[in-house]
Amino acid sequence: MTTRDQQPHGNGAVGHYDAVIIGAGFGGLYALHHLRAMGLAVRVYDGAAGVGGTWWWNRYPGARVDFPGGPFYRYTFSEELVREWDWAETQPDQPSVLAYLEYVADRLDLRRDIQLGTWVHDACYDEKAQRWLVETSAGARVSAQFLICAVGTLSAAHTPDIPGLDDFAGECYHTGRWPQAPVSFAGKRVGVIGTGSSGVQAIPEIARAAAHLTVFQRTPQYSIPARNRPLDPEVVRQARENWAAIRAQMNASPLGAPFEVSERSAFADTPEQRQALYEELWQKGGFHLLFGSYADILTDKEANRTVADFVRGKIREIVRDPETAEKLMPNYYLGTKRQLLDNGYYETFNRDNVTLVDLRTDPIQEITPTGVRTAKGEHPLDMLVLATGFDAISGALKRLNPKGRGGVCLAEKWRTRFDTYLGMTIADFPNLFLIHGPGSPSVLFNMPLGAELESAWIGDCVRYLRERGLGAIEPTPDAEKNWDREVAELANATLYPLTDSWYTGANIPGKPRQFCVHLGGPLYFQRLAEVAAQGYEGFVLEEERRAQVAAAL
Ligand code: NA7
Atom of ligand 1 nearest to the CA of 160: 18
The preferred substitution site among 55, 93, 97, 197 for testing ligand 1, maximizing ligand atoms within 8 Å of CB, is 197
| pLDDT, position 549 | 73
Q: Examine the pLDDT at 475 and tell me if it is beyond 50.
A: yes
Helix (H), strand (E) at residue 238? helix 233-241
Instruction: Give the closest residue to 142 by CA, choosing from 49, 42, 48.
Output: 42
Residues 177, 157 contacting (CB under 8 angstroms): yes
What pLDDT, in 10s, does the model give residues 346-390?
Answer: 999 999 999 999 999 999 999 999 999 999 999 999 999 999 999
CB within 8 Å of 189: residues ≥ 6 apart: 210, 211, 212, 214, 371, 380, 381, 382, 383
pLDDT in tens, 239-279: 889 999 999 999 999 999 988 899 999 999 999 999 999 99
Alpha-carbon radius of gyration of the chain: 24
pLDDT in tens, 270-315: 999 999 999 999 999 999 999 999 999 999 999 999 999 999 999 9
Residue nearest to atom 2 of ligand 1 (CA): 196
Question: Considering all CA atoms of the chain, what is the largest pairwise distance in Å, rounded to the nearest integer?
Answer: 75
Q: What is the pLDDT of residues 191-242, one digit of tens each?
A: 999 999 999 999 999 999 999 999 999 999 999 999 999 999 888 888 889 9
Q: What is the pLDDT of residue 14?
A: 74
Q: What is the pLDDT of residue 12?
A: 64
- Give per-residue pLDDT as tens, 414-448: 999 999 999 999 999 999 999 999 999 999 999 99
Average pLDDT over residues 21-32: 98
For ligand 1, whether the C-beta of 62 sits within 6 Å is no
Helix (H), strand (E) at residue 144: strand 141-149
Position 276, amino acid: A
CB atoms within 10 A of CB 244: 9
388 Cβ below 6 A of ligand 1 = yes
Q: What are phi and psi of 431, to 5 degrees?
A: 60, 20
How far from 129 is each of 13, 62, 496, CA to CA, in Å? Answer: 12, 48, 43
3-state secondary structure of 209: helix
Residue 9 scores a pLDDT above 70: no
Q: pLDDT value at position 550?
A: 76
Residue 324 has what pLDDT? 98
* Interatomic CA distance for residues 455 and 459, integer angstroms: 6
Testing ligand 1's pocket by substitution, the residue of 59, 177, 198 carrying the most ligand atoms inside 8 A of its CB is: 198
pLDDT band of residue 2 (cuts 50, 70, 90) is very low
Quick one: DSSP state of residue 11? Answer: T
Confidence at residue 57, expressed as pLDDT on a 0 to 100 scale? 98
pLDDT at 518: 98
The H-assigned helical ranges of 38-93 are 54-57, 79-84
Provide the pLDDT for residue 5: 38
Amino acid found at 429? F
The Å distance, Cα 196 to ligand 1 centre, comes to: 4
Whether the per-residue pLDDT at 174 is higher than 50: the answer is yes
> For the chain, what is the mean pLDDT?
95
**219 pocket-lining for ligand 1 (C-beta < 6 Å):** yes
- Is 69 a residue whose pLDDT tops 80? no
Residue nearest to atom 3 of ligand 1 (CA): 389
Q: Name 193's bridge partners.
A: 216, 386
Task: Please choose from 338, 379, 385, 511 the residue to mutate so as to test ligand 1's pocket, defined by most ligand atoms within 8 A of CB.
Answer: 338
Q: Whose CA is nearest to atom 27 of ligand 1?
A: 197
Q: How many Å apart are CA 68 and CA 65, to the nearest integer?
A: 9
Angstrom distance (rounded) from CA 252 to CA 246: 10
Query: How many angstroms does the Cα of residue 505 sit away from the middle of ligand 1?
Result: 12
Sign for the pseudo-dihedral over CA of 321, 324, 325, 326: positive
The neighbour count for residue 359, using CB atoms within 10 Å, is 16
The CA 278 to ligand 1 mean position distance, Å, reads 27
The DSSP symbol for 3 reads: P
Percent of the chain with pLDDT over 70: 98
For residue 373, the SS3 value is strand
Q: Give how far Cα 233 sits from Cα of 64, 201, 310, 509, Å.
A: 20, 26, 33, 47
- Name residue 301's beta-bridge partners: none
| CA 389 / ligand 1 centre spacing (Å) | 4
Tell which residue, 463, 227, 503, has the closest CA to residue 345. 227
Which of 64, 287, 388, 499 gets mutated to test ligand 1 (max ligand atoms within 8 A of its CB)?
388
Residue (of 377, 356, 354, 355) closest to 366 by Cα position: 377
CA-CA distances (angstroms) from residue 348 to 54, 65, 317, 344, 415? Answer: 27, 20, 13, 6, 41
Give the DSSP H or E segment for 341: strand 340-342
- Give the count of beta carbons closer than 10 Å to the beta carbon of residue 172: 16
3-class secondary structure, 94: helix
CA 249 to centroid of chain Cα atoms: 22
Q: Is the predicted pLDDT of residue 4 greater than 60, yes or no?
A: no
Tell me which amino acid residue 432 is.
L
| Nearest in space to 435 (alpha carbons), one of 39, 4, 26, 80 | 26
Q: How far is the CA of 295 from the centre of ligand 1 (A)?
A: 27
Of 228, 170, 181, the C-alpha closest to 345 is 228
- The alpha carbon of 190 and the centre of ligand 1 are apart by a number of angstroms equal to 17
From 507, 513, 517, mutation site for ligand 1 pocket: most ligand atoms within 8 A of C-beta:
507
* Cα 7 to averaged position of ligand 1 atoms, centre (Å): 47
CB count in 10 Å sphere of residue 311: 21
Cα 516 from Cα 481, distance rounded (Å) = 13
Burial class (CB in 10 A: 0-12, 13-18, 19+), 241: exposed
Report the candidate in 347, 350, 346, 352 with the shortest Cα–Cα distance to residue 329.
346
238 CA from centroid of ligand 1 (Å):
38
Which pLDDT does position 503 carry in this prediction? 97
